Amino acid sequence: MKISMLMEILEATLLTPDSDLECEVHDACGSDMMSDVLAYVKDQGVLLTGLNNPQVVRTADMMDMVCIVFVRGKQPDQTILDLANSRDIAVLSSNMTMFTACGLLYKSGLRGGRL
């Protein structure tokens, strides 16, 4: 699924305007616990989270993730966005809850990767 499609499904706003929306994401992970995210290998993944701090970007970077979606309308500050830009990670914000956002992406074919 392309990031542009993900944006459409989640009715999300793009917070990193220079990001490549044609980039493909293959797996998704929804969590507010970063150690849980780090426990499972993802490929070209998207991270959905309600946590709002720089460690979200660092975690996504370590996992080679290409996109972060802040759910529940969370708005990351400029420090977080700068960090994401420097790592070529697209950042989106959606007003949907975690459950709804994950459900809609699953329904559209995105899966959770392997344990």
Partner 1 sequence: MEEIKLHYDVPGDDFTRAGEASADLKSRLKKLGIPSAAVRKVSIALYEGEINLAIHAGGGAIDVVIGGESLTMILSDHGPGIKDISLAMSEGFSTAPDEVRSLGFGAGMGLPNMKKYSDDFDIESQVGVGTNVTMKVYFDA
Give me the residues that bind partner 1 (CB under 8 A), please: 32-36, 38-39, 41, 49, 51, 53-56, 58-59, 61-64, 87
Q: What is the 3-state secondary structure (H, E, C) of the chain?
A: CEHHHHHHHCCCEECCCCCCCCCECCEEEECCCHHHHHHCCCCCEEEEECCCCHHHHHHHHHCCCCEEEECCCCCCCHHHHHHHHHCCCEEEECCCCHHHHHHHHHHCCCECCCC
Nearest CB to partner 1, comparing residues 35 and 78: 35
Contact (Cβ atoms closer than 8 angstroms) between residue 43 and residue 23 = no
Nearest CB to partner 1, comparing residues 7 and 91: 91
Nearest CB to partner 1, comparing residues 20 and 62: 62
Shortest distance (Å) from residue 53 CB to partner 1: 6
Shortest distance (Å) from residue 31 CB to partner 1: 8
Nearest CB to partner 1, comparing residues 8 and 88: 88
Shortest distance (Å) from residue 54 CB to partner 1: 5
Shortest distance (Å) from residue 8 CB to partner 1: 28
